Amino acid sequence: MNHVIIGTAGHVDHGKSSLIFALTNRDPDRLAEEKERGITIELGFTWLDLPDGSRCGIIDVPGHERFVSNMLAGAGGIDLALLVVAADEGVMPQTREHLGILSLLGISRGIIAITKCDLADEEFVELVEEDIRDHIRGTFLEDAPIMRTSSTTGDGIEELRKTLFEQIAQISLHNEYLPFRLPVDRVFTLGGFGTIVTGTLIEGTVRLGDQAEVYPGDMTARIRGIQIHETNENLAEPGQRVALNLTGLRKTDLERGHTLAEPGSLHPTLLIDVELTALPHTRFPITNNMRVHLFHGAREILARVVLLDCDILEPGESASAQLRLEEEAYAKYGDRFVIRFYSPLETVGGGMIVDPLPARRRRQRDINQHDFSIMAEDDKAARLALAVSHGSNTLASLKTAYYRAGIAKEDSKHLLDTLINDGSVILLNERVAISGESLDLLGLKAARVLERFHSIRPLENGMRREELRTRLLPRAELQLSDLVIDRLRDRGIVDVHDGLICLQGYKVTLSAEEEAAIVALDSLFLASGFTPPGLDDIALKSTKQVNREQLISMLIDQGTLVRLTPQILMHKDRVDEAWEIVRQTIEKENGITLADFRDHLGATRKFAIALLEYFDKLKRTRLVDESRVFFS
């Protein structure tokens, strides 16, 4: 079913609430102060009965300039605007501001109601209507019907009702397949029920018993009850005004501006990339680094505007910008927002979020124009490819890429397969992908790093895997970095042998002098038994200079030499002999002490300790009191 929210807009005392009462026979004003003063202060809610027996939600917003913040808390869920202009006053300051806000929020349909027509003569009403047409020219209301009404006499009310029905029938369906999301615009308690929140369900479906997470807040609750238009229901669908009874939360845990959503479905951010538009009639142009009040959902946050390609955004102009927030927000691709001047509070602009999780951008860079030209368009595959590319340096999850690009779950597999087939994206595992371009660049970087390594250390079979991982992707998880190296191997860029990485086809080539030195080192360590020489004590005879350190590293990589400690190397055969001594002694005497082992070796305490601790590290032995026993 198609659920629609009607939202009023207009100047204070232009008869919005009275018009809603005339249409529904229900007063949206609920506060005693509102009834006493005759103006709306807080958001009011009611419904309109439709011809098919269903109901359409109505949000009545305050019109006074002091309560525009309250108006914005409810305006984000409006599908159909009802702009109200009094016949005896015409277009006023909040009429213009509310019209601008509705435009910035992306509302595409509306009706204009001229109220209080019983208080003005025909000629004046004609002038008011002409003035309205001047003000709506170029806006989404330019072709909207203008209805003349009187809530006092009832004139035009039925015609307005029929026109609302016609407009409602033409509004497209909400996306019910997304995770549910409800910006909270009211929190209260009722005896016997506990905490209740209200809001417009802007996405997804929520059911009795569902778990909901509070953003921000890191708290969860269970949906104990659902009420829509004062009727208990088992589920709520997108586009409905909803009251949710929550268990697990107190009233003090929540406030207007929080969002209830499916657990894990929203991500925090302090940066938002946006397409920003300045209102045509604002008194304050938007300047770079300007501090503003950001209104998103039902929440208000302070932020700085970073204009990426200009210094000033004049009234009526649009530009790419990054908002830097003073508190974490929970936004999604395609969300609409409004910004107001810091002081005095006045609406100056707003627009659409094109990346809810961007990196910090620098101004006046060509990459900004490239990215925004893709992210602001309807090509989902291009947006996903860009989001994967942006996350490639950290190997961010596909879930994050879908989130940034605004890709629904039902579209994700098809779009990902398309990008994989054309080589734009390379799948590392079921959770993570990297852009083809990024993998190409990493391949070039790996080749440069390994070429330099081979030139400096030609006698080593390759670079250790962990070192190459750090060089290529220092901010990525180790397991994911390994998958990238595997892809480079598959592409024929590198070879992998025993944890060492080299350029494909690289082989160590020894000169005659180096081969002789290898034999000499092998003989030296083998002959030295359990008291091997220190590295500084090794002298090699050669007619040509050979790199002693690299030859030793080569013997370690081959397993000929064993590094017991950073300073002690011993021939593998001698280490094996030492282990046999340890093993046989433990089997015979149920343990071996350091002193006994030293005597068996005929070596100094230093080498005996190094060997025993090496066996401990291999988990062959462990120390119990003063003896080594088998590790178990």
Say which CATH number the domain at 149 has: 3.40.50.300
**In the structure, what pLDDT confidence band is assigned to residue 37 with cuts at 50, 70 and 90?**
very low
Per the domain annotation, does 220 fall within a domain?
A: yes
Residue 505 makes CB contacts below 8 A (sequence gap 6+) with: 495
Per the domain annotation, does 465 fall within a domain?
A: yes
Q: Which of 261, 291, 320 is the last residue of a domain?
A: 261
Q: How far apart are CA 8 and CA 84, in angstroms?
A: 7
CATH code at 592? 1.10.10.10
Which tokens in the block code for residue 26? 């229900």
Per the domain annotation, does 85 fall within a domain?
A: yes
- ∠ at Cα 320 (314, 324), nearest 5°? 100
What mean pLDDT comes out for the span 164-178? 82
Cα pseudo-dihedral 433, 435, 441, 444, rounded to 10: 60
60 and 151 share a domain?
A: yes
Cβ pair 96, 208 in contact under 8 A:
no
446 and 388 share a domain?
A: yes
pLDDT tens, position by position, 293-311? 999 988 999 999 999 999 9
Q: How many domains does the chain have?
A: 5
**pLDDT above 50: residue 40:** no
CATH code at 340? 2.40.30.10
18 and 161 share a domain?
A: yes
Q: Which of 350, 369, 388 is the last residue of a domain?
A: 369
Which tokens in the block code for residue 27? 């007063």
55 and 152 share a domain?
A: yes
203 and 153 share a domain?
A: no
Q: Identity (one letter) of the amino acid at 80?
A: L
CATH code at 398? 1.10.10
130 and 204 share a domain?
A: no
Q: How far apart are CA 451 and CA 456, in angstroms?
A: 9
- SS3 of 84, please? strand
Cβ pair 268, 276 in contact under 8 A:
no
325 and 386 share a domain?
A: no
**pLDDT above 50: residue 264:** yes
44 and 153 share a domain?
A: yes
Q: Which of 468, 491, 514 is the last residue of a domain?
A: 491
Q: Specify the pLDDT at position 499.
A: 81
pLDDT tens, position by position, 216-235? 988 999 999 999 988 899 99
User: Whole-prediction pTM value?
Assistant: 0.81
**In the structure, what pLDDT confidence band is assigned to residue 36 with cuts at 50, 70 and 90?**
very low
* Strands 194-200, 241-247: pairing kind: antiparallel
Q: Identity (one letter) of the amino acid at 7?
A: G
Per the domain annotation, does 519 fall within a domain?
A: no
CA distances 539 to 429, 549, 566, 571, 573, Å, are 50, 11, 19, 17, 22
pLDDT tens, position by position, 493-517? 999 987 889 999 988 877 788 778 8
Pick from 107, 293, 302, 97: nearest CA to 200? 107
Q: Specify the pLDDT at position 545.
A: 58
32 and 151 share a domain?
A: yes
Per the domain annotation, does 207 fall within a domain?
A: yes
Residue-number span of the structural domain to which 124 is assigned: 5-169
Q: How far apart are CA 306 and CA 320, in angstroms?
A: 9
Per the domain annotation, does 576 fall within a domain?
A: yes
Q: Identity (one letter) of the amino acid at 571?
A: H
435 and 331 share a domain?
A: no
257 and 292 share a domain?
A: no
Q: How far apart are CA 315 and CA 281, in angstroms?
A: 6
44 and 151 share a domain?
A: yes
Per the domain annotation, does 515 fall within a domain?
A: no
